Amino acid sequence: MSELLIVEDEANIRRFVSANLMARGFQVVEAGDAEDGLRILRERKPSVLVLDIRLPGMSGWDLLHEMAQDNGLSNIPVIVMTASVTNLKFGEASYSNVVQWLVKPVSVHELIHAVKKALNN
């Protein structure tokens, strides 16, 4: 069974993502900010990370940077979610573990397709 970590500060979006993934048989762990997400990543080493970029405090970019510096985390596939394509900084998007970019609002079909792609990566 694949365990997925959702790092999203907006509770309604986090619940939407989690509920749809759990309904399809995935185990889901949630974090409301990047600091908690980083702690969970280090403790549990999930199969996939679904990551919001705009987070309070430590940003999603910062979390990606921390993961890249940690050999135990750098190979975990990441699905990045953002509220707007204007938030994408493609120059900073060169993290090799980012397998998919999703622009919110995300459809269930897009989400499931991205997770399957990440698991097969």
Could you tell me the residue range of the domain that residue 13 belongs to? 3-119
pLDDT mean over 46-53: 96
pLDDT of 84: 66
Under 8 Å between Cβ of 3 and 46: yes
Tally of domains in the chain: 1
Q: What confidence tens digit (pLDDT) does each residue in 63-120 have?
A: 999 999 999 999 999 999 988 665 555 545 568 899 998 988 999 999 999 999 999 9
Quick one: 2 exposed, middle or buried, by C-beta within 10 A (0-12, 13-18, 19+)?
A: middle
Residues 6+ apart with CB under 8 A from 95: 64, 67, 68, 78
Share of the chain above pLDDT 70, in %: 90
pLDDT of 83: 83
pLDDT mean over 33-44: 98
Q: What confidence tens digit (pLDDT) does each residue in 6-20 have?
A: 999 999 999 999 999
Residue 9 maps to which CATH number? 3.40.50.2300
- Residues in a beta bridge with 50: 6, 79
pLDDT of 91: 44
Task: State pTM to two decimals.
Answer: 0.92
Q: Alpha-carbon distance 10 to 22, whole Å?
A: 18
